[in-house]
Amino acid sequence: MMQAILFLLAALIFVPLAVRLGLGSVLGYLVAGVVIGPVGLGLVNDPAALLHVSELGVVLMLFVIGLELEPKRLWDMRSAVFGGGTLQMLACAAALFPVGLLMGWSWQASLIGALALALSSTAIVVALMQERNLMATPVGRSGFSMLLYQDIAAIPLLALAAVLGTATPAAEPAAHNSSGPLWQMGAVAAVVVLGRYVAYPVMRFVARMQVRELFTGFALLLVLGVAALMEHVGLSMGLGAFLAGVLLASSEYRHALETDILPFKGLLLGLFFIAVGMSMELGLLASSPVQVVLGLLAVVGLKLLALWRLAPWVGLKGRDKALLAVLLSQVGEFAFVVLSAAKVSGALPAAQANLLTLISALSMVSTPLLLMLFDRWCRQNTQAREADAIEEDHPPVIVAGFGRYGQTVCRLLLAAGVKPTVIDHDADTVDSARRFGYKVYFGDATQPDLLHAAGIHHAKAMVVAVDDPAQCNRLVEVLRHQFAHVQIVARARDALHAMDLAELKVPYVEREVFESSLRSGRSTLEALGMDRVQAKQMADNFRRYSLDFLRKAQAERNNEEHMIVRARQAREQFEREMQADQERQARHDGKAGWHVS
């Protein structure tokens, strides 16, 4: 009980602090582990036992990832997984292999060490990509494909560690669970068959009982059972969980499974990072600081270089190359397992294995720090880039911001024969737009000099479509004070931002998702059986009431309590009047009202 309290207390102290400093939650967990572990305050002295239990967090994470990948999509990723993954492993191992030889290690130790250090941390990288919403981006897809390949490659690496070893009886524990290829293929086939023909009917039966905790228990049993089976035949637990997730990705219970598993995944994944922090043998850092530091710099530096050079081969360019290199530059959790097996088999002497284990753990700490430097470098490069020279000097319309909102506006204008001048402050957006054939200029539209160069004196209208409300307001103020002849069409982030723009006397304000949300609500009413004309009337009435609310609430926008009261009153009044309208319409039509069909 006391240990559980210590883990939670350490996490609650260091994780928010790390997030607040911009270091990310992963580094917070690692620091928490160092502080309460044997090297720190010594409050917990058995990190190995905790690490074994908390590895279930990685297992559950891979299961959740598998739930998001239907078999067809996974099949479509096969070239990225086996092509990009093979290139990544070979490139990183080739860069690291000579280092061991230069240090006087045997070729066996150098080879197994290089291959183990070529692995990256699925837990850390996926957590960081999810924090930054990168999973659906090219970097996220390439990185995840490589990580998936590494999880598969960890299995033959364990066998290689046993083959390269020189110990005889001691080598048996490392290969104890290796049951042979036929048993492993049979286990995978059993998971596929059971997942398709047994798990579905049982899950449907459990779901019909409508006992939520029973469904959660079955979900955990399914994941842990498959993981245990894979471990028993010498395969990766994480690979088994991922396979189970993929098989259930097309199930109607996918979202329920994900919702039930996520709390356990988050808790155990946090414990995993704490255990990694506790297991760092920082005594080596005190006794051999030069060797540890130079080894860490060599491993992370060579992996950065190898991944950066590899990135164009998987279709990444520009900043994406550097981002992929930073994300995968650390050593992964499976390296601990491979290094331990190599140590037992004699492929790696104990001193070398301990050194590489510490370097692996420290490399995990380096990734959040490198991401901070990457973000700062991106900001500096963006600020250092000079604004483009703008060729058009008589544009009818200037558009500031070329995100999804600005792109739609520009496409409509171009279709109507109006050629706008487009300015965006994000260098990546500008370069990407140019590749698609759009003429977009880099620069800060809030700078009057740039607006002069863009021909603002000849423009009749300016569309302010920038994402940031504060920057939007600054640009509107510049236009109102220095270029009053220009009609302003502004994008509002939300209702409060719309009130800001109303105070600035902007004549045309559109909330960015208001109309599309309204259309979705109207379509939902029609799907439930409401007449199209009546659904349109309700949407029109809602639009009118919403605009009326904005006007009336303008004076109280800085008083949150009054704003909340007015919002509730407006909602209740709208609902009452809409109900009254429905009743009148029902009496007029001679019906009892619309119903769900």
Q: What is the mean pLDDT of residues 286-295?
A: 85
Task: Quickly state the pLDDT bin for 173 (edges 50, 70, 90).
Answer: very low
Going by their DSSP bridges, the two strands 440-442 and 461-464 should be labelled as: unpaired
pLDDT at 298: 92
pLDDT tops 90 at residue 564: no
Q: How far is CA 10 from CA 7, 29, 44, 279, 354, in A?
A: 5, 8, 12, 16, 26
- Find out whether 381 and 427 touch, Cβ atoms under 8 Å: yes
Q: How far is CA 23 from CA 28, 33, 37, in A?
A: 8, 16, 21
- 55: region left, alpha or beta (phi > 0 left; psi from -120 to 50 alpha): alpha
Q: Tokens 């250090």 label which residue?
A: 117
Looking at domain 397-511, its CATH class is: alpha beta
pLDDT at 114: 92
pLDDT at 300: 92
Q: What would the 3-class secondary structure string for 270-288 be?
A: HHHHHHHHHHCCCHHHHHC
pLDDT at 470: 80
- Write out the residue limits of the CATH 1.20.1530.20 domain(s) in the chain: 48-166+184-377
- Find out whether 180 and 159 touch, Cβ atoms under 8 Å: no
pLDDT tens digit string along 451-491?
887 888 888 899 998 887 888 888 888 888 888 888 988 88
pLDDT tops 60 at residue 291: yes
- Write out the residue limits of the CATH 3.40.50.720 domain(s) in the chain: 397-511
Q: Which of 19-23, 194-198, 224-228, 521-525 comes out lowest in average pLDDT?
A: 19-23
Measured between alpha carbons, how far is 544 from 112 in angstroms, rounded to an integer? 69
Measured between alpha carbons, how far is 545 from 542 in angstroms, rounded to an integer? 5
Residue 435, class by beta-carbon neighbours within 10 Å (0-12 exposed, 13-18 middle, 19+ buried)? exposed
Task: Quickly state the pLDDT bin for 103 (edges 50, 70, 90).
Answer: confident
| Runs of H (alpha helix) within 528-559 | 532-553
Q: What is the mean pLDDT of residues 506-531?
A: 82
pLDDT tens digit string along 216-275?
787 778 778 887 887 777 666 767 777 777 777 766 666 777 777 777 766 777 777 777
Going by their DSSP bridges, the two strands 508-511 and 421-424 should be labelled as: unpaired
pLDDT at 430: 78
The CATH number of the structural domain formed by 48-166+184-377 is 1.20.1530.20
Per-residue tokens: 528 = 């439930």
- Find out whether 465 and 405 touch, Cβ atoms under 8 Å: yes
Measured between alpha carbons, how far is 144 from 98 in angstroms, rounded to an integer? 27
**How many residues can be counted in the chain?**
597
Q: Which residues contact 20 (CB under 8 A, 6 or more apart)?
A: none
- Find out whether 248 and 67 touch, Cβ atoms under 8 Å: yes
Q: Which residues contact 148 (CB under 8 A, 6 or more apart)?
A: 77, 81, 85, 242
